[in-house]
DNA sequence: CTGTTAGCGCGTTCAG
DNA sequence: CTGAACGCGCTAACAG
């Protein structure tokens, strides 16, 4: 009988012999001292018997808010964003909010109308790791916006939650230098993505090395990273003794390419990742990388949005990151 | 100026000097021969100038449908589900629908009120790879339901889209047997998840081997798979010469454990995965596995839901899978 | 303690 | 060809 028309609150009222308003009060849990215990129970029973579910569209229209936030991410195939979502969803749930995930179709580019496609009616938007122009498209929605892992100097968003991306890159670079690698022997496998987070990494790396390292760019996929690494190895001169990668995925692809050229990790070439995804400990050797508190980012982002919605002054935050040393880095063979 | 109240269709009407109805007709693209070209243009201009966006809640309430489907998945940290989503979203978009992703919080267990948490108002639900009892919770919503990768015999859903899971397991098992592995030397690293898809795998494996292999169960995570494999190796008697895993993630964890015990893959032990995720070619050696047409599953699922919504008779489908032979399998050392 | 009333913003009649 | 009027289902005021 799934074809039965859905009962409305009026149906419940009729069945319970009360008015719609009473139903609303009882089911909305605001009847303390306004409706008799017995009447309340009648209403609840009637609702249950009819299988009543409030019509969200009507409720949203009436209340003018939906208790729903949109989380815009560049891609869904990435553990980091899954963890951001988890953190955001947890906080949201604690406040009776829902989170709808919107993977920006163009990857990192301008989100093509998130408000049309993610058809939900929204109270606010959280956007993670988006390019600046994508931000513009989103900011246009007129909704409160919290940016995650994006340029804190950018205008528009009500609040920003950031990671100490540059600090992480400095830490890992110093770790490699500390192992005895010469600045001139270090190369950079960069993500071919035009966002703040990756600009930061390149900048911090160059700053810490005191020079701009040989760099190849690659999309965030194993095969691409492999090819990019091969381009790096094909350059004239001796191969680097250490390869600093913008992401664990790139690092894994790099390891494959190096191995394919008869180079051993970490004996011949040290490799570092960034993110500390599950992948980092799945491969051999395990990756030296930078751990990111992804769920804290999501949680803080949702908290900031909730604060904004409640007219509390939301501000910018920066979360620390942590160097994780594992087996993919070692002193250079010829110190 | 983000604090400006959002303009309504009435505001647009006022600005354009026409009535609300005219605005609705023009913006709804149903004005051919009912509104003058010039008036229509005035309306469109006014709407653009004001930055008008129709209020979804009101529209949904009026129309009684939301053009939104919910896709329920057991976990978001999985490439397979990301691909299912992509396929579903593509088809949905072609039909003016949106897809909201709902990662069932309890993993595979009963989804705790997907209609409350995924606050969107919904026209239908697509659920992938869910346990039977979770299905019950969802089916209760009274919404059209399409099940993906679930027991086709289960009652309830309007339609089912399935993979030839058993066939895939038969193919990969025959491949291993064909390499010369003895049925008694083959072990099974099973997913510790109580769903149809994994029951099928175990059943098909046992059927093809003609016997129930030594089995360890593990959650879908590298570390767990590693420990499970160690338990397998700790069993009395000679180690297996081939290890058939329910998933690529398990296979990768197994490879780590084997290597830790001084066993080489595939020389000492052959290992197989299932899914053909990006991971399968990221590790060394690359995994022999079964490729799943995940986006086709999502696309078919959405098509079936759309058909159901349009009162077309939707039926069950089964999609073929494909064995992919790579470097992780080889003949046993002592044939 | 309970019922009546009004209106959220939209799309769709029906009368002009 | 256009505008006025109605109601989707719900909840917040207010009246009894």
Contact criterion met (CB < 8 Å) for A119 and B76: no
Contact criterion met (CB < 8 Å) for B142 and A61: no
Tell me which residue of A179, A176, A232 sits closest to A208, measured CA to CA. A176
Nucleotide nearest to A8 (CA to C1'): D9
Q: Which residues of B touch A124 (CB under 8 A)?
A: none
Four-way CATH pick for B165-292: 3.40.50.720, 3.40.720.10, 3.30.365.10, 3.40.50.2300: 3.40.50.2300
Q: Which of A2, A66, A116 sits opposite B57 (nearest CB)?
A: A66
Q: Give the pLDDT of residue B113.
A: 57
Q: What percent of chain B has pLDDT over 70?
A: 91
CB B135 within 8 A of CB B280: no
| CB neighbours of residue B315 within 10 Å | 11
Distances (CA, A) of B43 to A142, A308, B36, B51: 21, 34, 11, 12
Q: Give the pLDDT of residue A302.
A: 96
Distances (CA, A) of A55 to A8, A9, A52, B32, B62: 8, 9, 9, 34, 12
* pLDDT reading at B334 higher than 80: no
Q: Is B132 left (phi over 0), alpha (psi -120 to 50) or beta?
A: alpha
Q: Enumerate residues 6+ apart whose C-beta is below 8 A from A132.
A: A150, A151, A154, A196
Which positions of chain A have pLDDT values less than 50?
1-3, 108-111
Bridge partners, A159 (sequence order): A146
Q: Give the pLDDT of residue A313.
A: 77
Is B9-54 a CATH 1.10.260 domain?
yes
Tell me the pTM. Answer: 0.90
Q: Give the pLDDT of residue B38.
A: 85
Q: Give the pLDDT of residue B109.
A: 41
Alpha-carbon gap: A275 to the closest alpha carbon of chain B (Å): 15
pLDDT tens track for A88-101: 999 998 898 889 88
pLDDT tens track for B226-269: 999 999 999 999 999 999 999 999 999 999 999 999 999 999 99
* pLDDT reading at B3 higher than 50: no
Q: Give the pLDDT of residue B263.
A: 96
Alpha-carbon gap: B211 to the closest alpha carbon of chain A (Å): 31
Distances (CA, A) of B171 to B26, B52, B166, B184: 57, 56, 9, 18
- Any idea where the domains of chain A sit in the sequence? 9-54, 65-161+294-318, 165-292
Bridge partners, B73 (sequence order): B103
| Tokens 């129930």 sit on residue | B212
Q: Which is more confident, B153 or A137? A: B153
Q: Give the pLDDT of residue B111.
A: 44
Nucleotide nearest to B24 (CA to C1'): C11
> Closest residue of B to A2, CA-based?
B142
Half-sphere exposure of B53 (CA within 13 A, CB side): 16
Q: Give the pLDDT of residue B15.
A: 87
Fold classified for A65-161+294-318: Rossmann fold (3.40.50)
Specify the length of chain B in residues.
Answer: 335
Contact criterion met (CB < 8 Å) for B119 and A51: no
* Fold agreement between B9-54 and B65-161+294-318: no
- What is the DSSP-derived secondary structure letter of residue B113? -
Q: Give the pLDDT of residue B30.
A: 82
């Amino acid at each position: 009988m799934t074809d039965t028309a859905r009962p409305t609150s009026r149906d419940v009222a009729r069945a319970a012999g009360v008015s719609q308003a009473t139903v609303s009060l009882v089911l909305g849990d605001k009847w303390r001292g306004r409706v008799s215990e017995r009447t309340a129970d009648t209403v609840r029973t009637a609702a249950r018997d009819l299988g009543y579910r409030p019509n969200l569209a009507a409720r949203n229209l009436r209340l003018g808010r939906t208790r729903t936030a949109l989380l815009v991410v560049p891609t869904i195939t990435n553990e980091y964003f899954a963890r951001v979502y988890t953190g955001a969803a947890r906080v949201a749930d604690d406040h009776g909010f829902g989170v709808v995930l919107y993977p920006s179709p163009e990857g990192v580019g301008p989100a093509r109308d998130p408000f049309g496609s993610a058809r939900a009616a929204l109270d606010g938007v959280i956007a993670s790791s988006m390019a600046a122009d994508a931000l513009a498209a989103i900011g246009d929605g007129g909704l409160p916006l919290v940016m995650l892992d994006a340029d804190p100097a950018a205008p528009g968003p009500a609040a920003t939650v950031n990671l100490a991306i540059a600090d992480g890159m400095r830490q890992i670079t110093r770790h490699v230098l500390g192992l005895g690698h010469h600045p001139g022997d270090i190369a950079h496998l960069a993500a071919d993505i035009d966002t703040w987070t990756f600009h930061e990494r390149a900048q911090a790396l160059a700053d810490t090395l005191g020079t701009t390292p040989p760099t190849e760019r690659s999309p965030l996929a194993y095969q691409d990273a492999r090819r990019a690494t091969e381009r790096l190895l094909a350059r004239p001169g001796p191969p680097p003794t250490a390869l600093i990668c913008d992401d664990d995925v790139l690092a894994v692809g790099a390891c494959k390419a190096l191995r394919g050229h008869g180079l051993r990790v970490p004996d011949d070439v040290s490799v570092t990742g960034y993110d500390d995804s599950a992948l980092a400990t799945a491969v051999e050797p395990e990756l030296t990388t930078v751990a990111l508190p992804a769920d804290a980012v999501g949680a803080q982002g949702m908290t900031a949005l909730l604060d904004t919605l409640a007219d509390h002054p939301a501000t910018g935050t920066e979360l620390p990151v942590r160097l994780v040393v594992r087996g993919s880095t070692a002193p250079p063979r010829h110190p």
